[in-house]
Amino acid sequence: MSIYDTLNDKQQEAVFYTEGPLLILAGAGSGKTRVLTHRIAYLIDQKGVNPWNILAITFTNKAAGEMRERVDDIVGFGSESIWVSTFHSTCVRILRRHIDLMGYDNNFTIYDSDDQKTLMKDVCKLLNIDTKVYKERNLLSAISKAKDEMIMPDEFELNAAGDFTKKKLAMVYREYEKQLRANNALDFDDLLVKTVQLFQTNPDVLDYYQDRFRYIMVDEYQDTNTVQFKLISILANKYKNLCVVGDDDQSIYKFRGANIKNILNFESEYKEARVIKLEQNYRSSSTILDAANAVIRNNYGRKDKTLWTDNGEGEKINLRQFDSAYDEADYIVDDIRRRVNSGDGSYQDHAILYRTNAQSRMFEEKFVGANVPYKIVGGVNFYARREVKDLLAYLKTIDNGKDDLAVRRIINVPKRGIGLTTINRVQESAQEREIGFYEALGGLDLIAGIGRGAAKLESFVAMIEYFKSQAETLSISDLMKEILDTTAYIESLEAEGKEEAENRIENIDELLSKIATYEESCEDERPTLSGFLEEVALVADIDSLDESSDYVVLMTLHSAKGLEFPHVYMAGMEDGIFPSYMTITGDDPEELEEERRLCYVGITRAREDLTLTCARRRMIRGETQYNKKSRFLKEIPVHLLNVGSMDEDEADIPSQNAYMKAKQSFHSKAFTQTKPKRQFTVTQQDTLDYEVGDRVRHQKFGEGLVTGITEGGRDFEVTVEFDHAGIKKMFASFAKLQKI
């Protein structure tokens, strides 16, 4: 029996078609890696192709390593001559031999992200660039995007005509490239760009590699960007034996520069291309696949294909809606424990998927409380994240100035111009006098050589003492907001770059929700800062967990791509969470299509059992919000769902009990705090520009109708039913609603 007999008809067709351009549309779980490895074996075994003439490219070192291992197993002798590597590794091998033709030494240095930041600081200093206006991180991001599109400094400067900011960027870009060349260095983007330029300017080198790589295969083609597309196109231009494998329905990395048009327009680029669809799924039940097909069919920018399987119908998809996110987490954790205790799989057979990293916090706490082992993939423990640790360090310093680690962590966060030398002198003085670090800050005149740093240190101490005085009257929630406002911590994150800042701000919002939950849970006693920090410390202490392989996996949907589990839970399936508010209210329909592809990826991670959960109300940024069920849930046919006892007609309407509980919680919190309360005695029209029944606009949630205004202890509580974001309850001073 031949090894090719184990393949299905479409897989065999893809393996046996060896000449000319080929697009393999490989649906989730359709065995694409198996096809690629068998295709390499067929080229060598049956077509007599020299292993030397084969190039296989993928994206990650892990994927390349797995493919390398499988190729070695199936091909055997001669497999070492096949190039199986990532885009960047392939380019490095080529440049090490030929970059001297472009004026570089062959022993060039590759700069990592830290090296790039250091170089950019030097560039900004040389050009007198105000880094408070033009952040180094933002400058590097702009240059990286330009290189992804093969836009060099001359073209960048030409495109910047008339735009002052872009002209500044062009100047920085040019100097950055000049400094790289002077240092005989390349950044990661250069590895691709310089290889393309090498081929464009040296026909002999290009001809050599075109003859060398007569058969080229590219995995995960839907994730390629413009420069990667250009590289492959040039290499394959002579013989056109280019086989690309991918799934446009799993293109979810637009934010990294991936261009879905590369796979959608493949037949336009290669008129004679053959297209083969791998639609038989070997992973999931037909019910799960039918749901995935139903969801993704709502996208317009895709190739038509339908996954199917011989695995059987399987169980219906569980859909559960809860009153709160707390109930949602409770149910999922209990359900996993029930399954494991009944012998229906082990912990490692279960995965919880969510849209944003911040959503892991509640599950982490539940797992710790239930003594269930877990691991976060593609992220870190919620309380170990930088921004969470920073803000907890502020609270620890306020609560206990003797915590030297906490004080030293925040003394220059956000940056206050307090250098490491100054910090070390304070530390040395504290050690010599056998006192704490913060105590030493109170006697700066006793520290030799402190110089101009004294004023900055005194300002820091004054700020901490102010927070300590505020902590005596403010709630913990209000204290945290005061810290954020006074330090401008969020603004400092935003200055680092939009993409990373969004995730970090979401985590801060989740921390505010955690604080609010703690305050509400202290029904019989007054919530205290010490009590909150103690609770967090106990929850965050997960180092004692057994680091065995048997743990529940928690990860974002982006991190889940390429993985599979018997039992999958997709949590937070609500409009505003998934898809996000920005996607719903934005003007770009492609953004919503990418979110839908992400949903498709999540659904197809499940092999046997899939549970989709959502909550009627969820605490965001310390405030209770009401969300509608995700529109993606409504795209799944009802006959595929097991909705339990949930009333479909009322599923999107916040229950009266939930509303009353939220309202009582608000009034209880507003009127039982120990801080002096400001009483509103003026009429509504003197304080608000709108009233019940008015249409208003919110900066993030868009337009909506005011349905309620309540005079609380500190502010007006406004309830708005937004057109797209659902029902929200918020404080007027924070909401900044505009009447329309």
DSSP category for residue 563: -
Residue 523 pLDDT class (50, 70, 90 cuts): low
Q: What is the pLDDT of residue 547?
A: 44
pLDDT tens, residue by residue, 141-158: 899 999 999 999 999 999
Query: Is the pLDDT confidence value at 664 over 60?
Result: no
Q: Is pLDDT of 689 > 90?
A: no
pLDDT tens digit string along 530-556? 878 877 765 654 433 344 578 999 999
From the list 214, 170, 204, 177, the residue with the least C-alpha distance to 193 is: 177
For residues 241, 242, 245, 249, the Cα torsion angle rounded to the nearest 10 degrees is -130
pLDDT reported for residue 434: 79
Is residue 275 a contact partner of residue 21, using CB atoms and an 8 Å limit? Answer: no
Confidence at residue 542, expressed as pLDDT on a 0 to 100 scale: 40
Local confidence band at 675 (pLDDT 50, 70, 90 cut-offs): very low
Kindly list the distances between the CA atom of residue 464 and the CA atoms of 306, 308, 460, 473, 535, in Å, as whole numbers in the listed order: 60, 62, 6, 15, 23
Task: Indicate the SS3 state at residue 402.
Answer: coil
Dihedral sign (CA 295, 301, 304, 305): negative
Whether the per-residue pLDDT at 439 is higher than 70: the answer is yes
Question: For residue 729, what is the enclosing H or E element?
Answer: strand 726-731
What does the block give as tokens for 286? 């037909």
Residue 380: what pLDDT? 63
9-59 pLDDT, tens digit per residue, is 999 999 999 999 999 999 999 999 899 999 999 999 889 999 899 999 988
Cα–Cα distance between 634 and 674 in angstroms, integer?
A: 46
- The pLDDT of residue 77: 74
Q: Which residues have a catalytic role annotated?
A: 32-33, 219-220, 250, 605
Statement: residue 327 has pLDDT above 90: yes
pLDDT at 676 > cutoff 70: no
Average pLDDT over all residues of the chain: 85
Q: Is the pLDDT of residue 656 over 70?
A: no
**What is the C-alpha separation between 509 and 503, in angstroms, rounded?**
10
**pLDDT at res. 700:** 74
Residue 539 has a pLDDT of 60
**The token pair that represents 710 in the structure block:** 């309540």
Q: What is the rounded distance in angstroms from the CA atom of residue 17 to the CA atom of residue 20?
A: 8
**DSSP 8-state class, residue 630:** P
pLDDT in the model for residue 467? 93
- In this prediction, residue 320 has a pLDDT band, given cuts at 50, 70 and 90, of very high
Say how many C-beta atoms besides its own lie within 10 A of residue 690's C-beta: 19
pLDDT digits (tens, 9 = 90+) for 560-611: 888 899 999 999 999 999 998 888 887 788 899 999 999 999 999 999 999 9
pLDDT digits (tens, 9 = 90+) for 302-316: 999 999 999 999 999
Higher model confidence: residue 386 or residue 291?
291
The per-residue pLDDT for range 235-287, each reduced to its tens digit, is: 999 999 999 999 999 998 887 788 999 999 999 999 999 999 999 999 999 99
Q: What's the average model confidence in pLDDT over 681-688?
A: 47
Residue-level length of the chain: 740
- Pairwise pLDDT comparison (447 vs 337), residue with the higher score: 337
222 pLDDT tier (thresholds 50, 70, 90): very high
